[in-house]
Copies of this chain bind each other. A is one copy, B any other.
Amino acid sequence: MARDLTKEKVVQKAAELANELGDVHQLKLKDLAAALDIKVPSLYNHVKGSAGLIDALRIHALSELSGILQDAMVGKISEEALVAAAQSYRTFAHANPGIYQLVIQAGEPGSEVERIGKNSLSFLLLILGSFGLQGDEALHVVRGFRSLLHGFVSLELAGGFGLDLDLDQSFERLIKDYISGIQNL
């Protein structure tokens, strides 16, 4: 046999399909195999079943998000950098509604996921330094910032906001209020 199918192509296609479906758990191996024009058991040559596919998609999603955030922040400081990061985070979620949910889990010590997470963390800590935040102070704020980003976008993706009220404005206001809050120590 030997077509030019690789793990990367399998994961890429799975990400596309999951994003079309809006939820990675809606994607069945049957659908993925069909899209790749192979039979289901052949997928096992590339990923360790559905659990292995999810793991691979998590790394795929995290790498992408991490890159996007760093691109958004590079060359900026303090408020401008945080606002740019927030906007990019939300844009990533909108563009990846199916796999977004995979980025929230912290990695096991020593894992690829942990490595990517630490990388983004150190970038954010650099920015928070420009606010005068250091040590545990800064770490608490990173947790807070992540919480509000994840909370907003996950509610948005889940259809959690029922009111007829502009979402962009709500998001902008949330980020502004929080940044304002961390400045009044």
Contacts and interface: CB of A to CB of B under 8 A. Distances in A.
B162 A106 contact: yes
Contacts of A150: 151, 154-155, 160
Interface stretch (A13-21, A67-75, A166-174): A166-174
A173 B106 contact: no
A136 B165 contact: yes
* Size class of the contact patch on chain A: 35 or more
A141 B152 CA distance: 12
A52 B103 CA distance: 29
Contacts of A158: 104-105
Nearest to A162: B106
Contacts of A179: 181
A47 interface: no
Contact of A106 (B146, B161, B165): B161
24 contacts: A104-B154, A105-B160, A106-B159, A106-B161, A106-B162, A114-B162, A136-B165, A139-B163, A139-B165, A140-B170, A140-B173, A140-B174, A143-B155, A144-B177, A146-B160, A147-B174, A148-B174, A150-B151, A150-B154, A150-B155, A154-B154, A176-B181, A178-B178, A179-B181
Interface of A: 25, 104-107, 114, 117, 136, 139-141, 143-144, 146-152, 154-155, 158-163, 165, 169-170, 173-174, 176-182, 184
The 3 A-B pairs of least Cβ separation, nearest first, read A151-B151, A181-B181, A106-B162
